[in-house]
Amino acid sequence: MKTAKLRLITTILIVAVLILTPLLLTNCTSKEQEGIAEEEAPDEEGIVPGKEETPEEEITPEESDSLVSSVDSNFISSNTEFGFNIFKELALEDKGKNIFISPLSILSALTMTYNGAEGGTASAMEEALKFNGFDSSSINKNFSSLIKGIKSADTDIEIEIANSIWYRPGYDVREEFIEKNKKYFDSEVSEIDFSSPDAPRTINSWIEEKTKGKIDKMIDRIPPDVVMYLINAIYFKGDWTYPFDENLTGDGNFYLEDGTTKEVPMMKQKKEFSYYAEDSLSAIKLPYGKEKMSMYIILPGKGINIDTVVESLDVDKWNSIKESFATREVSLTMPKYKMEYGIKSLKDALTSLGMGIAFDSELADFSGICKPGETPCFISDVLHKAVIEVNEKGSEAAAATVVEMRATAAMPAEEIVEFKVDRPFFFMIIDERTGSILFMGKVMEPGVVEP
């Protein structure tokens, strides 16, 4: 691709990575289990209040394939729609900036919170999170199967998905709320004195451990009226199925949006890849491990702004693109980079998507979280941070989402295709079996990866 032509194209790097957060199925069994009174009966989701859920055993990749095949395809489409929707909102807020998120980390933390929502608040969250048409039971069961399946997809890919709930001692939390999130999200639950100077460090240490040190701080100071934190953390490390040769990596130009250039390390290889092209964009699929997960890179066409491409993407458009990929020999050039996004408040974006009532101290109804007589609560903020590094071996990414609750006072001709990622592009890491997007993002310029 000639330099003169390349300079016609604006430069934004869009890194989109959707990580679904693990929801682990745990089975409620008999009333005879210790601590459960004979008269206590399971609710409609099979949960017995006060019952300790038995941690589930790891499953094999083959069992994982079977499990994810049981997930409702409409549920996957709804999750994908939410991912595109919130990404577009953030693209408007942070126009011209790098963006990187895990939509499914966000969904996981918010779904745990949704399990305590009632009335109009529950309806608003269903609309914003695209849960319309699913009842609470099917939402939780689909999430549980999906995340458990993703977590055990491939022995060559390391995935950690963890959830936790932290609440103020003495705050009268409903057992049904706790047990539901233990069962479907495998949530760790802890009482913690938020007034203690050690409280932020304790919670941050949990996040740091679950993200393998990639995210070490999400909470600074805890306001006195905070009653609960609901947290998701996700970690991903996958080696390319077809790694790049480090000896071929060399400096090259990346063309920024303003027409200037930045010299960055460029990785290169020539091989057959799944490829797609149309007038407005081209795309390539780069698989990890045993090819159950892949990164998709979407490059805008000549003279087309990356934000225009992002705005055009929805579930139907993306599914149409994915179905049209074909194997081609490709001469691939792409940057070696790392990026970090956040800590970012998602409050405005989620409000724009329709769940503003959940943030309203007077209107929010989370009576499914606390018992009658306890001070009601509302969502005061949703914080998100995500990081990624891409190199010759593969990709390493992590994300964390914190929900803070406060008390309420077409193909070209057959020839070798050149795919040179030297201008703004969009990419996602996807579970190939279900189509679930693990990560997505946008970058104005790639950060340099130190040798």
- Give me the tens of pLDDT residue by residue for the chain, a chain 451 residues long: 433 333 333 333 333 333 333 322 233 333 333 333 334 445 555 555 555 555 556 789 888 998 999 999 999 999 999 999 999 999 999 998 999 999 989 999 999 999 999 999 999 999 999 999 999 999 999 999 999 999 999 999 999 999 999 999 999 999 999 999 999 999 999 999 999 999 999 999 999 999 999 999 999 999 999 999 999 999 999 999 999 999 999 999 999 988 899 999 999 999 999 999 999 999 999 999 999 999 999 999 988 999 999 999 999 999 999 999 999 999 999 999 999 999 999 999 999 999 999 999 999 999 999 998 889 999 999 999 999 999 999 999 999 999 999 998 733 445 677 888 888 888 888 888 888 888 998 877 887 554 4
* Domains of the chain, residue spans: 1-451
Dist CA 17 CA 427 (whole Å): 7
Closest CA to 410 of 320, 298, 311, 300: 320
Q: Is 447 exposed, middle or buried (0-12, 13-18, 19+ CB in 10 A)?
A: middle
* CATH, domain 1-451, list 3.40.50.300, 3.30.70.890, 3.30.497.10, 3.30.360.10: 3.30.497.10
Contacts of 293 (CB under 8 A, 6+ apart): 153, 154, 157, 238, 287, 429, 430, 431, 432, 438
